[in-house]
Amino acid sequence: MIKNIKQIFNENKYLVGRVDVRSTNECWNWLRGTREGYGRVRVLGKKVSVHRLVYEIFYGSIPESKPVIRHKCDNRLCVNPLHLLSGTIVDNVSDRVVRNRSAKGEASGRAKISKNDVEQIRKRYVPYKVTMKSLSLEYGICLRQVWMIITNRSWKS
Ligand SMILES: [Zn+2]
């Protein structure tokens, strides 16, 4: 199976030498021209998206009911056929919503920590010695969270 995929990439004139082919669990990045982050290639005089072309080469024509080719890996340059799946426009929007949500979660420093961590942080905090700053770095949470834990404010685990 893996051998076949790589073989097709080596034999297809649109793909050969233009893709960073790696092991199947890695992303295979397109090495040539792009538009809006997606690889582009000229096929029969028409510019097409490479990930859509690759999908059709490996899985057949893109279903009308699921016309959007999505990346499981969230990497637009990737043309690894195992990272592609077809979906509806709604799927594509929900992918984006989920992505934004997780990005915001990380940005606000809302890392998940356990009840046990909370107890440890309360025990270990010693002003000017084990500081809130060092605890926040160690547990990967923001200063405000450390402060809330130490001062026994509402804590939702
Ligand atoms: Zn990928």
- The Å distance, Cα 139 to ligand 1 centre, comes to 30
- The Å distance, Cα 125 to ligand 1 centre, comes to 43
Of the CA atoms within 13 Å of residue 49, those in its CB half-sphere come to 18
Give the confidence band of 81 by pLDDT, cuts at 50, 70, 90. Answer: very high
Give the confidence band of 96 by pLDDT, cuts at 50, 70, 90. Answer: confident
**Average confidence (pLDDT) over 89-107:** 68
Residue 108 has what pLDDT? 46
- The Å distance, Cα 118 to ligand 1 centre, comes to 37
- The Å distance, Cα 149 to ligand 1 centre, comes to 39
Q: d(Cα 35, Cα 37) in Å, to the nearest integer?
A: 5
- The Å distance, Cα 81 to ligand 1 centre, comes to 8
- The Å distance, Cα 7 to ligand 1 centre, comes to 18
- The Å distance, Cα 25 to ligand 1 centre, comes to 8
Residue 2 has what pLDDT? 58
| Residues 14, 79 contacting (CB under 8 angstroms) | no
Of 89-93, 96-100, 152-156, where does mean pLDDT reach its minimum?
A: 152-156
- The Å distance, Cα 79 to ligand 1 centre, comes to 7
Q: What is the pLDDT of residues 25-51, one digit of tens each?
A: 899 999 999 999 999 999 999 999 999
- The Å distance, Cα 75 to ligand 1 centre, comes to 6
Residue 101 has what pLDDT? 62
Residue 16 has what pLDDT? 96
Distance of CA 153 to the CA centre of its chain: 34
| Residues 38, 49 contacting (CB under 8 angstroms) | yes
CATH number, span 2-94: 3.90.75
- The Å distance, Cα 109 to ligand 1 centre, comes to 27
**Average confidence (pLDDT) over 102-129:** 72
Among 32, 33, 74, 28, CA closest to 54: 28
Q: What is the pLDDT of residues 51-72, one digit of tens each?
A: 999 999 999 999 999 999 999 9
Q: In this predicted model, which residue has the larger pLDDT, 100 or 22? A: 22
- The Å distance, Cα 96 to ligand 1 centre, comes to 16
Tokens read off for 90: 């709604």
What does the domain layout of the chain look like in residue ranges?
2-94, 105-157
